[in-house]
Amino acid sequence: ALLDLSGVHQVNGTWMGSTTLPCTYVPSEGFTQQTLSWSMERDYSTSTIFRRDDSGDHILLSRFRDRVSVPKNSPGDASLLIENLEIPDSGHYTCQVTWRSKNNNLITKEVTTMVKVVKVAATKPVIRAGEPGLAVPAGASASLTCVAGGSPPISYRWFRGTPGGRAVPLGSGAELAWRSLRPSDSGTYYCEAQGR
């Protein structure tokens, strides 16, 4: 098991989120990493995305520029981080590392990971109350925060009233805040979360 790359078979990424494709090895004495490349196969064509060699790091596909990176100073870690995932990023990614031994032999290993980028609908939101909670003295400040999961961006809207009944829209944004509460602020509030 000298100089073997380990990775995973499949990675699921969330649209507009980020994901890491693992590619690691145990550095061995007498072997130095010469080149490291990541390529992607989609629709029967393969293109190199990233290459690291003596001259530095190169991102070779413009649509991945500013979105992919490989850890800099951690020997043995060649994992690829992809940010702001797009649906066309789905495909097969191959990590290929070449080492040079002391007697100038080259050894090349590779590992392939399948990436699936999926859109995730916004989850049912949860409302979190700030200090001092839901029972608040008049004149105090308070806040409610709406939190939902899913593919970003998620937009939030606040209402006073009951869902499906009479409701007054209060604004957008995850947080609803009061500087100085009045007794008339007592009541029922709800939020809506919506994904793209």
- Please give the pLDDT value at position 164: 84
Alpha-carbon gap, residue 15 to 195, rounded angstroms: 11
Judge contact between 64 and 86, C-beta under 8 A: no
- Please give the pLDDT value at position 8: 94
- Please give the pLDDT value at position 1: 44
Strand spans (E) along 29-105: 31-42, 45-53, 56-59, 68-69, 80-82, 91-101
Alpha-carbon gap, residue 6 to 78, rounded angstroms: 10
Could you tell me where in the chain the CATH 2.60.40.10 domains are found?
5-118, 126-195
Secondary structure of the chain: what % helix, strand, coil (to 5)?
5, 50, 45
Q: What is the 3-state secondary structure (H, E, C) of 137-189?
A: CCCCCEEEEEECCCCCCEEEEEEEECCCCCEEEEEECCEEEECCCCHHHCCCE
Instruction: Classify 126-195 by CATH class.
Output: mainly beta
Query: From the centroid of its chain, how far is CA 52?
Result: 23
- Per-residue pLDDT 10s for the chain (196 aa) are 468 999 999 999 988 889 999 999 999 989 999 999 999 998 888 999 999 999 999 999 999 999 999 999 889 999 999 999 999 999 999 999 999 999 999 999 999 999 999 988 888 899 998 877 788 899 999 999 999 988 778 999 999 998 888 889 998 999 999 999 999 999 999 999 998 7
Positive or negative: CA dihedral 131, 132, 136, 137: negative
Superfamily holding 5-118: Immunoglobulins (2.60.40.10)
Alpha-carbon gap, residue 177 to 195, rounded angstroms: 23
